[in-house]
Amino acid sequence: MHSYRNRERSNRPVSPLMRWLRNNVPLAIFLLVAAAGMLAIYLYFNPDPGDATAIVQAVQGESPFNVPLFGGAAADQTTQPTSSGPRIGLIAGHKDSDSGAVCPDGLTEAEINLDIAQRVAISLASRGIASDILAEFDPRLAVYQGDALISIHADSCAEINSSTSGFKIAASPFNDSNLLEQCILQQYYLTTGLAYHAHTITPHMTDYHVFRTIETRLPALIIEVGFMNLDRTLLTSDAHIPADGLVQGILCFLEKK
């Protein structure tokens, strides 16, 4: 009886799967282990539903780490802060162009202009007022956005006569720069004690090239802060005085505008 049953079992057809398993036991075990390992990895690293927002932000580029592999993050092209506070443009006369007037010992107008512009910028910053130091032919001038623009220059170092001391101002004729001119003139005179040389204002000042470059709504002026000969000490060793005169004029303008 037992032998008959054994023969009956041996004569039953074997499925292809079972036949493959019998012939490939090591491979079958490997596949099972691999499948179990993949399932474990999936369950371990699969994010919770609460992480969905972070994933969406990363995919949409809202994550600060979502940048191209090569080249890094794009450079910030913003040259001016988005602050709604006051902003003043300061042209350091002749900057990145030429030396301007030159004294016999090599002192240049350009270095005087830049030094005073930097002092003004620092003083304004201490009062929470933003500013930009611009070059003589700065490409930003054509689209400059600000409350006012002041171009800082110094007068000749030539020894003409005993009256070659003082300052002068010319405002843009293409827009309303009267208030800016009045404030700068008054405060610069009071701060420096220099005489105002209205009779020596030249066409180079009244028709200053920047006036034709900037937007017409921008109040602008050019100032000759003093003569490089007789006013030399004031413009160099005591440069904080003319700088403060400009700052006081700017504060007057911002307060009254």
**CATH number of the domain to which 183 belongs:** 3.40.630.40
226, 182 Cβ separation under 8 angstroms: no
Question: In sequence order, which ranges of 60-177 are alpha helices (DSSP H)?
Answer: 109-126
> How far is it, in rounded angstroms, from Cα 183 to Cα 246?
9
CA dihedral 224, 125, 217, 116 (to 10 degrees): 10
Residue range(s) defining the domain that contains residue 48: 2-59
Tell me whether residue 39 is in a domain: yes
49 and 95 inside one domain: no
Tell me whether residue 68 is in a domain: no
116 and 224 inside one domain: yes
39 and 93 inside one domain: no
Tell me whether residue 105 is in a domain: yes
193, 156 Cβ separation under 8 angstroms: no
Tell me whether residue 73 is in a domain: no
pLDDT on residue 43: 44
Tell me whether residue 172 is in a domain: yes
211 and 97 inside one domain: yes
21 and 128 inside one domain: no
pLDDT on residue 161: 84
Instruction: Give the least confident one: 12-16, 40-44, 131-135, 210-214.
Output: 40-44
> How far is it, in rounded angstroms, from Cα 197 to Cα 6?
128
23 and 113 inside one domain: no
144 and 186 inside one domain: yes
3-state DSSP helix/strand/coil percent for the chain, to nearest 5? 45, 15, 40
53 and 93 inside one domain: no
Tell me whether residue 199 is in a domain: yes
Tell me whether residue 13 is in a domain: yes
160 and 251 inside one domain: yes
Domain count within the chain: 2
176 and 241 inside one domain: yes
Tell me whether residue 126 is in a domain: yes
153 and 223 inside one domain: yes
Q: Each residue of 37-89: pLDDT tens digit?
A: 555 544 444 444 333 333 333 333 333 333 332 233 233 222 344 458 999 99
Question: In sequence order, which ranges of the chain are alpha helices (DSSP H)?
Answer: 2-11, 16-23, 25-45, 52-59, 109-126, 178-192, 203-206, 232-235, 240-256
- pLDDT bracket for residue 29 (50, 70, 90): confident
